[in-house]
Structure 1
Amino acid sequence: MAVGELVDALTAAGLAPEADRRRVAEYSYDASNYRVVPSAVLFPRSEAEVATALAVCHRLGVPATARGGGTSMAGNSVGTGLVLDLSRHLHRVLAVDEAARTVTAEAGTVLTALRAAVHDATDSRLTFAPDPSSQSRACLGGAIGNDACGNHSVRHGRTADHVESLRLVTADGLRLTATRRGVEATDPDDAAAAARAEHLTVELRDLAAEHLAAIRTELGRIPRQVSGYHLRHLLPEEGFDVARALVGSEGTCAIVTAATMRAVPRAARTGLLVVGYADVVDAARDVPAILRHRPTAVEGIDEVIVATMRQRRGADAVADLPEGRAWLFVELDDDGNDDDEHDGEAGGAGGGLEARMAGLADELARNGHALEALVVTDPVTRADLWRVREDGAGLSSRLTDPATGATIESWPGWEDSAVPPERLADYLAEFRELLARHGLTGVMYGHFGAGCMHIRITFDLRSEAGRAVFRAFCTDAAHLAVRHGGSLSGEHGDGRARSELLPLMYSPEMLGAFEEFARIWDPAGLLAPGGLTATRPIDADLALAGVSPGVGRRDLGLLTSADGAHPVQACIGVGRCRTSAGGVMCPSYRATGDERDSTRGRARVLQEVVRGTIAVDDPAVEESLELCLACKACSSDCPTGVDMATFKAEALHRRYRRRVRPRAHYSLGLLPLWLRATVRVAGPLNALLATPVGRAAARFGGITGERALPRFASARALRDELARVPDSVWHLRDRRGKGRRGSGDPAGARTSAEVVLFLDSFTRGLRPHVAGAAARVLGGSHTSVACSAGHCCGLTHVTTGRLDAARRTMRATARHLDGIRGPDGAEVPVVVVEPSCAATLRGDLPHLLADTPDADVARRVAARIRSSADHLGRLAAEGRAPAWPGGTAPDRVTVQTHCHEYATFGNRVQRATLTALGVGSVREATGCCGVAGDFGFTAGHEAVTAAVAEQALAPALRADPDAPVLTDGFSCATQTDHLGRTGRHLFELLDPARPEPTSPAPDATVPSTTRRPS
């Protein structure tokens, strides 16, 4: 059927489907290996709209697939026909009943939001138990569809164990409610729904009666048997539990629009024991002994994931671990029991929590295979360790070899098989042998306590030969799992990844019962075909099939991989960019809630570019990238290391090469060039820009009229600042290295110094007072400082996609800085005042000049670059910290860390430095400020800029109106000023010539900014 007919029919029914190239590209993928292009996408606002849409699809014979966070690793949430994204609007928590221990929520509710609502309503006495690693973006409907589990499943089981009732819409648009005793019409007055409920009841009872023996012997054999349909819940001894029978049906029977779930008591205290092992097999051998202690979680990772996390996010991203090459995270709670149903069981009691932790550690050391065990008490360290485990799916897809530092590309495919925990070690040992026979390697992590392993494997899905190996291996692995009494899927469902292999696990009778169950609910087979129904081969629809190798290595992102792989394909859809809290990524998605504005959504569009289905200058690409702030947070926060700022730079480079650009690219994108001239006419120019004529000229240049423009500094202002520095500061004022001493005396051509202070274009032309502060602070801490003030990092060229100009600028800067050395030619640090410029010189410089004669120069210079906070933190660690003016550090500071510094120098650099410098309390506004270079000054971005500011910065400013505000980034300082406070650079706070601070007015407040744009 033509797409236009579907769109017209849905529109005529009062709905708003979208079928443009960009939107379809965003929804052609989930977190699996598969790509299936839908006809259209719909964002229903109510259950009634879901029913209307399905009625239209049923009438037209169009397939329909429901989707939440799109985090499915088995291809469960992609499909032809219509995709219904329930996460956009159907995300309300409807009720929390503490007395009944239940919570009711719509299907699009994110699991962490659901859990937070339960905590708030019960004063943290109850919690929602299922906690898959994707819980910060996965939705309730998806957890029900796949029967998700999570880290604490050894205590709380699967999602199915917590379902009380499900609100459903059938394939033909009827609204039903499945309960633990049957199925009924949601609206008792709906005669058609009541008739359907009665018919379903008869057929489902007949199905269970006909296959009693097979259901009882083949289903429910192990805790993590997720594969197939959960027909055992229809048995008489289960009370004809239709609600739980539908869990794990992957949207093939009906679409869940809301659910009532059980809540469970929340432990008052938990303890974490980290145990080191020689390898994952040894770790698995200790699992049965650990389970006797009734842990709440037993999770495992290996050394490659740890190395990748440290390489991507800094050495301090993972705490010191016990000796070993694989680790188990064992969590115990304060009494070993979670509710009354466990009363009287052995293994729960045995002393206080600390004694139980110590006893388990001692037992594993004496009788087990452990090399070392460590009790982790610090809550921050515990949170960091759990994040390593939770990011395993992304980290393991783009690994760093701990021996060579090389990147290893791995994929799902045999993602979450499960076996009885007591057989896990033998299964893993044989699994490693199977990998070796097929010439593959795999990274193993996951739910050791439940016998469920997540394994990322080095499949070659790009070549026909590699795909043949993929099929052969998965078939052999299925046989192996079945031989060990296991399930092909233990958590993520079967989907397109495993449904074809179900005949290896189940008898023909059981498979026939599965087919009949699906037919009873959806006779036409329109819901989510391709997985459990209308099964596709496991090697069909693979996303990497048909993608040609890279055609060049000239540019930054899309086409720069030496092995022919496209770096943008590092996005595998794990969806951490869709979170609403934690980290910085992705500020635009958090502002709009639209998949278009997520890092993942943009990556999917660019993946279509490298496939050749969308041209790089297609409006779809421009729409996708329009609200990307180029903040670079994704390069750090994304578990696979997707750097959308880099990809955007290349896309702009290709789109606008030899074409007229947007006006803001000339006014703001060329700002460093304009600043060379503004220093000569700063006074008159500032006066002009304050007039209506000046403001009109700015708007003509694409600059928003809702934000005050920064004041330009004169050349004299910079000269005056640099004249008030110690004699140890040498000012290198031109590109030949010649200059003069800070006091103004001739300095000849001296270029030897203990440290180089790089004054970027923004600091020279807009914040000369920061330049003076930096020179004074460094001059007081070093014997000699070379002050470089004549070059540019090329940042604005990169962000506007002028990559050729960026290379020219960077080449000159790199050669200049490479020539400034310490005594005897030593490579001394280069401290860059503006953190975004520091990040550009550290990260983009070596990439852009990688295939040029200056590649070695670029690498040398990049290795020397430090941000201000990075350098001052090192000085503090060496006992050389500069003194605070007045001799006393502030008792508290509010910090807005620049996104580029966060991504490039580590997310703890500001806090660690302030703490080392003696600041008592540090409040971090962890999030983008909303300006992000030219983004906040560009017309059309006002609402998003304001909404992003409300994510972290504005609330932090309101929380403590008296604390000094640290804003090393010029953009951050500008936004802080816009919000009614004054931001200071760290060098300003430490400046020995700093004037006494003035207290803000008693009623000083930060205004609340615009809410999320529609």
Structure 2
Amino acid sequence: MSGQEDTEQYRQLAEELAEAIEGEVRFDAGSRALYANDASNYRQPPIGVTIPCSVNDVIAIHRICHAHGVPILSRGGGTSLSGETVNHAVVMDHSKYLDHILNIDPHNKRITVQSGVINDDVNEALEPYNLVFPPDPATHEWCTIGGNLGNNSCGIHSVQAQCYGHGPRTCDNVHSLEILTYDGVRMTLKDGYSEDEIDSIIAAGGRQGEIFERLRNLRDRYSEQIRKQYPQIRHMPRRVSGYNLDDLLPERGFNLVSALCGSEGTCMTVLQATLKLTDNVAHRTLMVVGFDNVAMAGDHVPLIIEAGPIALEAIDKRLFQHEADQHMNEETLEQMPKGDAFLMIEFGGENAEDTDAQARQLIERLQKTDSPPSDYQIVHDQEYANRVWAVRKAGLGATAFPPPEQQPHWPGWEDAAVPPEKVGNYVRDIKQLYKKYGYVGSIYGHFGQGCIHSRVNFDLQSEEGIETYRHFAQEAADLVVSYGGSLSGEHGDGQARGELLERMYGPELIEAFREFKRIWDPQWKMNPGKVIDPYRLDENLRLIQYHPLPVETTFQFPDDKRNFSRVAYRCVGVGKCRSDSGTMCPSYMVTHEEKHSTRGRARLLFEMMNGEVITDGWQSEEVHESLDLCLACKGCKGDCPVNVDMATYKSEFLSHYFAKGAHRRPLNHYAFGFIDRWSRLASKMPAFTNFVTRAPLLGNLTKRVVSMPQRRQAPLYAPETFKAWFAKRPVVNEQASPVMLWADTFSNHFYPETAQAATEVLEAAGYRVVIPPEGLCCGRPLYDFGLLDDATAYLQEVMSALSAAIEMNMPIIGLEPSCIAVFRDELINLFPDDDRAKRLHDNSLMLSEFLVHRAEGYQPPRLTRKALVHGHCHHKAIMHLDAELALMQQMGLDYEVLDSGCCGLSGSFGFEHDKYAISMAAGERVLLPRVREAGEGTLIITNGFSCREQIAHATPRRALHIAEVLRMAMDSAQDVINGPPEQAIEWQRAQAQRKANQRTASIAGLVVMAGLLAWGVSRQRR
């Protein structure tokens, strides 16, 4: 069929699908680009994408694709590492709508779910019953049960399942599956059939009877070979590679459910699954044991397994060092016991005494061995235990682009498993094989079941490098087979290992695999080219196809070798941005759309640079549409395992998108981007501005001009700026060390009381406060619109004006997190070689950072109040909240930090008409309801201007900056605050009223902006 005929067929296919299903059908270039990659090394643009919202939709998709003879690929979280979730096929994304828990049966310890439900959502729903679905891969917070079934996933606590439940793999924990074949046969399969039941089904005839008959014949013909060649489960608990033909054997009960687990969508589609559950443990204790090297740690696995832990994980020195070099988990790493490798051993029991005793008994036995541990810790603090587990979970991110060489490390041999008693020797041999090929890679993983993870610095960008990788993979496969192991212990075969299966099973069983697939999928249309008769392991490699044109950028990207084409493949596809916890990605949390995840946007940028599916480069409407709902919150910079920084990429993209008149900039880019200029003008006539903006018609007109939603109240200008207030004050602590309080636009013009409070706090700490000259601005709003020439000029002006302060390393103390984030992040990305930029970066601090880490002998005043704390996104991502929380703890505040993500306002985002719904939905996820629920005497604390405005807009509460809280503690009304609750509430009301009286109630001076807009626009365009 010609390319033109293909295009016409796919157009007709898309039309038929759109008419037949209630869900979404997307055959556009952007959607194909989004689903061309997963977390593996492979790339295959799909024919198109469907997002079914019901079982009937899934049935219709199969019917229509079958009629057209086109392949189908099921996809959940898209986090597979072996290439099984990319293909030239019609993709069905189950994760958006097919995510329901259908039934919980605590009596029989079962739960029935749809294929797109998230692993963690299942276990959260089971908490009231003290039950758990044991397989918990590293992506358990966002991977789907359908993905678990497809890959036959295991996880950290699969040892628990092996000891106390049904077995470590997903297939061991499934009771029944409702499935659909490519040709439309719908059936429910269970975890075992007697011979009489098989006879009865065959006798009933039809397609199901035919399938059962052919499967039994297959079993009977190959049974002896299966028994001989398959690694026995008691010796090899993590055998995931190949089809589970051993589950067809009579002694395994003709378990079709288990036989289909791990088939990676190559045989059928899962509609729903009933899972077996295990009793959860009442208490857990973690023990961290240090060894001289990781192979020695592996030698002790059999002894440790005898002690019955519920988890046994390992990390080696290289992983530990990678994390330290990248400032990941630094505090935890410093507290770890001595050693160059660690085993993390978790025990479960009825109470702390029980689990502690198990740990102590084990360490006594380990210390009596010929190679005892170098050190150990028994962890009783659950918070610290969580931080230790975070060290292990950071494995992928820490090893993807490790410094100092920044040579990418890839999957491809990250998942082999051997019998647990052979782990030590296998680790020694695989490290020798690395050395032979000139490779390096950290060793970590699920040692308790012999599964070893390792990302390796394969060269996948040159023909020579790929040929070397191919030879290595073949030799590594032979090594694993020599140990009686499995090529995959968790991640599946896909394309990465499918070609190597014959080395593990031999040609006869490979023919049995081929027949097994053909029984279910005679037309060979279910995810073809994966597992059996696969593409070669060196086909479809993403980077060998990648030939981007060189581009010039304003940002320098020093962490990516100053090359945007490298920036575009930084995302490794792990999918953490698809979680509903943390900060990234606010728009994804609202829409659950792949194109609004950090990963989706990064993949679109990669495809833009690649130029095959997205062909118009920086002018791409697909990329622009995806980035348009990026809130530039920088949550990904902090949360993403490899620190993808979509806010910066968006800014760079927009600077090109609007360059040289390619697209006309909207007026609100100038209105909001240059708010510092408009604010300086408005502050010269605040009374007039407030009077004019009182008129409803003028106010509504202003909002319309700058595309601001009518329901949104703009921020209030103060009648007196902070700088005007400061200029009238006498110098305090004249002989003391100076510190510069960065009087940002928002603190100066909108919230001067915050800067006033900070001034008094710093003076009380014994410092002389100075402020920057008039007219300086970090330019934060400019980045949101890609106005990078102006942003660069702003920073040049700052560095020149503050040259003396920078030279003397004077602390620059900020109140607005987004402004300090500019100095700590964007500044050194724009000026990586400027010593002034480095000094300014090093000495720019949030108020809390200065008070906790730099202010000598400072002790904050006590304030015995409850507080609800929301962290500003830039604060969390760039500076982190550690100092903020330490300060509040020293104050004696009884505080709760919300896992509230982004407030939703995020600079100008929530002030834009077409973003209002997303803005409010983001805020309503957690933050706004919790603020409304908070008791009137509970302080609401957040430092961000946007966050405080969102709270003021949507709740009756006024949020406080930490500076105001500190001054509240210093206030002469302290006795009242700490008195009866009703007195404290009355005091707080009086303070709020006093502040309100200082400012006239008005929408911000956007009318003045509108009046001056024509002048500003013409000036910028010149």
Match of 1:815 among 778, 783, 800: 800
Q: Tell whether 2:495 aligns with 1:496.
A: yes
Match of 2:859 among 849, 867, 881: 881
User: 1:551: how far off?
Assistant: 2.4
- Supply the distance in 2 between the matched residues of 1:725 and 1:360 (Cα, whole angstroms): 67
User: 1:556: how far off?
Assistant: 2.6
- Write out per-residue CA displacement over residues 201-258 of structure 1, whole angstroms, 9 at most, x where no aligned residue: 1010000000011111122421111110001111111111111110111111100111
- Supply the distance in 2 between the matched residues of 1:558 and 1:205 (Cα, whole angstroms): 59
Single out whichever of 862-871 and 508-517 deviates more from structure 2. 862-871
Q: Given residue 465 of structure 1, which amino acid in structure 2 is its aligned partner?
A: E
**Structure 2 counterpart of 1:1012:** none
User: 1:521: how far off?
Assistant: 0.2
Contact 1:305 1:399 (C-alpha < 8 Å) held by counterparts = no
| Runs of 5+ consecutive residues of structure 1 not aligned to the other structure | 185-189, 337-349, 731-751, 1005-1014
Secondary structure at the residue paired with 2:44? coil
Question: For 1:418-497, what aligned pairs fall within 5 Å after superposition?
Answer: 418-497=417-496
- Supply the distance in 2 between the matched residues of 1:191 and 1:668 (Cα, whole angstroms): 71
TM-score, with length taken from structure 1: 0.90
**Structure 1 counterpart of 2:665:** 661
User: 1:418: how far off?
Assistant: 0.3
- Supply the distance in 1 between the matched residues of 2:176 and 2:88 (Cα, whole angstroms): 29
**Structure 1 counterpart of 2:1014:** none
Secondary structure at the residue paired with 2:98? coil
Is the alpha carbon distance of 1:191 and 1:976 closer, same or farther for their aligned partners in structure 2, counting shifts above 3 Å?
farther
Contact 2:414 2:452 (C-alpha < 8 Å) held by counterparts = yes
- Supply the distance in 2 between the matched residues of 1:682 and 1:708 (Cα, whole angstroms): 17
Q: Tell whether 2:278 aligns with 1:278.
A: no
Secondary structure at the residue paired with 1:211? helix
Question: For 1:330-729, what aligned pairs fall within 5 Å after superposition?
Answer: 330-334=345-349, 352-367=354-369, 368-400=371-403, 405=404, 407-548=406-547, 551-552=550-551, 554-556=553-555, 561-562=560-561, 566-581=566-581, 583-613=582-612, 614=614, 615-659=617-661, 660-691=664-695, 692-714=697-719, 718-724=723-729, 727-728=732-733
Secondary structure at the residue paired with 2:805? coil
Secondary structure at the residue paired with 1:28? coil
- Write out per-residue CA displacement over residues 673-709 of structure 1, whole angstroms, 9 at most, x where no aligned residue: 2122111122222332332212311221122222111
Q: Given residue 757 of structure 2, which amino acid in structure 1 is its aligned partner?
A: A
Secondary structure at the residue paired with 2:761? helix
User: 1:306: how far off?
Assistant: 3.8
Contact 1:713 1:768 (C-alpha < 8 Å) held by counterparts = yes
Q: Given residue 380 of structure 2, which amino acid in structure 1 is its aligned partner?
A: T
Q: Tell whether 2:744 aligns with 1:760.
A: yes
User: 1:656: how far off?
Assistant: 0.9
- Supply the distance in 2 between the matched residues of 1:995 and 1:805 (Cα, whole angstroms): 45
User: 1:364: how far off?
Assistant: 2.3
Contact 1:299 1:329 (C-alpha < 8 Å) held by counterparts = yes
- Supply the distance in 2 between the matched residues of 1:462 and 1:286 (Cα, whole angstroms): 39
Secondary structure at the residue paired with 1:200? helix
**Structure 2 counterpart of 1:83:** 91
Single out whichever of 223-232 and 788-797 deviates more from structure 2. 788-797
Secondary structure at the residue paired with 1:819? helix
Q: Tell whether 2:765 aligns with 1:781.
A: yes
Match of 2:903 among 904, 929, 940: 929
- Supply the distance in 2 between the matched residues of 1:486 and 1:170 (Cα, whole angstroms): 32
- Supply the distance in 2 between the matched residues of 1:304 and 1:193 (Cα, whole angstroms): 59
**Structure 2 counterpart of 1:4:** 11
Secondary structure at the residue paired with 1:4? helix
Contact 2:32 2:49 (C-alpha < 8 Å) held by counterparts = yes
- Supply the distance in 2 between the matched residues of 1:292 and 1:672 (Cα, whole angstroms): 67
TM-score, with length taken from structure 2: 0.89
- Supply the distance in 1 between the matched residues of 2:119 and 2:556 (Cα, whole angstroms): 33
Is the alpha carbon distance of 1:665 and 1:715 closer, same or farther for their aligned partners in structure 2, counting shifts above 3 Å?
same
Q: Given residue 819 of structure 2, which amino acid in structure 1 is its aligned partner?
A: C
User: 1:468: how far off?
Assistant: 1.6
Secondary structure at the residue paired with 2:452? strand
**Structure 1 counterpart of 2:72:** 64
Contact 1:898 1:967 (C-alpha < 8 Å) held by counterparts = yes
Q: Given residue 881 of structure 1, which amino acid in structure 2 is its aligned partner?
A: Q
Q: Given residue 971 of structure 1, which amino acid in structure 2 is its aligned partner?
A: S
Match of 2:923 among 925, 944, 949: 949
- Supply the distance in 2 between the matched residues of 1:128 and 1:225 (Cα, whole angstroms): 19
Q: Given residue 756 of structure 2, which amino acid in structure 1 is its aligned partner?
A: G
Secondary structure at the residue paired with 1:327? strand
Single out whichever of 364-373 and 263-272 deviates more from structure 2. 364-373
Q: Tell whether 2:244 aligns with 1:230.
A: yes
- Write out per-residue CA displacement over residues 88-118 of structure 1, whole angstroms, 9 at most, x where no aligned residue: 1111111111111111000001000011112
User: 1:729: how far off?
Assistant: 6.8
- Write out per-residue CA displacement over residues 648-678 of structure 1, whole angstroms, 9 at most, x where no aligned residue: 1101111112332122211111111212211
- Supply the distance in 2 between the matched residues of 1:970 and 1:212 (Cα, whole angstroms): 69
Is the alpha carbon distance of 1:994 and 1:351 closer, same or farther for their aligned partners in structure 2, counting shifts above 3 Å?
closer
Match of 2:815 among 829, 833, 839: 833
Contact 1:273 1:374 (C-alpha < 8 Å) held by counterparts = yes
Secondary structure at the residue paired with 2:92? strand
Contact 1:830 1:864 (C-alpha < 8 Å) held by counterparts = yes
Contact 2:548 2:610 (C-alpha < 8 Å) held by counterparts = no
Contact 1:875 1:881 (C-alpha < 8 Å) held by counterparts = no
Contact 1:182 1:243 (C-alpha < 8 Å) held by counterparts = no
User: 1:193: how far off?
Assistant: 11
- Supply the distance in 1 between the matched residues of 2:292 and 2:621 (Cα, whole angstroms): 53
**Structure 2 counterpart of 1:293:** 307
User: 1:715: how far off?
Assistant: 5.1
Question: For 1:855-1004, what aligned pairs fall within 5 Å after superposition?
Answer: 855-874=834-853, 878-883=856-861, 888-962=862-936, 963-978=938-953, 979-991=955-967
Contact 2:203 2:209 (C-alpha < 8 Å) held by counterparts = no
Q: Given residue 962 of structure 2, which amino acid in structure 1 is its aligned partner?
A: L
- Supply the distance in 2 between the matched residues of 1:279 and 1:119 (Cα, whole angstroms): 38
User: 1:427: how far off?
Assistant: 0.9
User: 1:569: how far off?
Assistant: 1.2
Q: Given residue 675 of structure 2, which amino acid in structure 1 is its aligned partner?
A: L
- Supply the distance in 1 between the matched residues of 2:513 and 2:123 (Cα, whole angstroms): 33
Q: Tell whether 2:141 aligns with 1:132.
A: no
Q: Given residue 772 of structure 2, which amino acid in structure 1 is its aligned partner?
A: S
- Supply the distance in 1 between the matched residues of 2:718 and 2:308 (Cα, whole angstroms): 66
- Supply the distance in 2 between the matched residues of 1:380 and 1:452 (Cα, whole angstroms): 27
Secondary structure at the residue paired with 1:270? strand
- Write out per-residue CA displacement over residues 467-520 of structure 1, whole angstroms, 9 at most, x where no aligned residue: 122212111111111111111111111001100111111111110100000000
**Structure 2 counterpart of 1:793:** 778
- Supply the distance in 1 between the matched residues of 2:987 and 2:516 (Cα, whole angstroms): 68
- Supply the distance in 2 between the matched residues of 1:312 and 1:174 (Cα, whole angstroms): 53
**Structure 2 counterpart of 1:339:** none
- Supply the distance in 2 between the matched residues of 1:558 and 1:623 (Cα, whole angstroms): 24
Q: Given residue 153 of structure 2, which amino acid in structure 1 is its aligned partner?
A: A
- Supply the distance in 2 between the matched residues of 1:42 and 1:995 (Cα, whole angstroms): 64
Q: Tell whether 2:755 aligns with 1:771.
A: yes
User: 1:892: how far off?
Assistant: 1.7
Contact 2:442 2:455 (C-alpha < 8 Å) held by counterparts = yes
**Structure 1 counterpart of 2:211:** 200
- Supply the distance in 2 between the matched residues of 1:936 and 1:54 (Cα, whole angstroms): 41
**Structure 1 counterpart of 2:1010:** none
Contact 1:463 1:545 (C-alpha < 8 Å) held by counterparts = yes
Is the alpha carbon distance of 1:529 and 1:457 closer, same or farther for their aligned partners in structure 2, counting shifts above 3 Å?
same
Contact 2:651 2:785 (C-alpha < 8 Å) held by counterparts = yes
Secondary structure at the residue paired with 1:362? helix
Q: Please identify which structure carries the higher helix content.
A: 2
User: 1:275: how far off?
Assistant: 1.0
Is the alpha carbon distance of 1:464 and 1:834 closer, same or farther for their aligned partners in structure 2, counting shifts above 3 Å?
same
Q: Given residue 629 of structure 1, which amino acid in structure 2 is its aligned partner?
A: L
Q: Tell whether 2:780 aligns with 1:806.
A: no
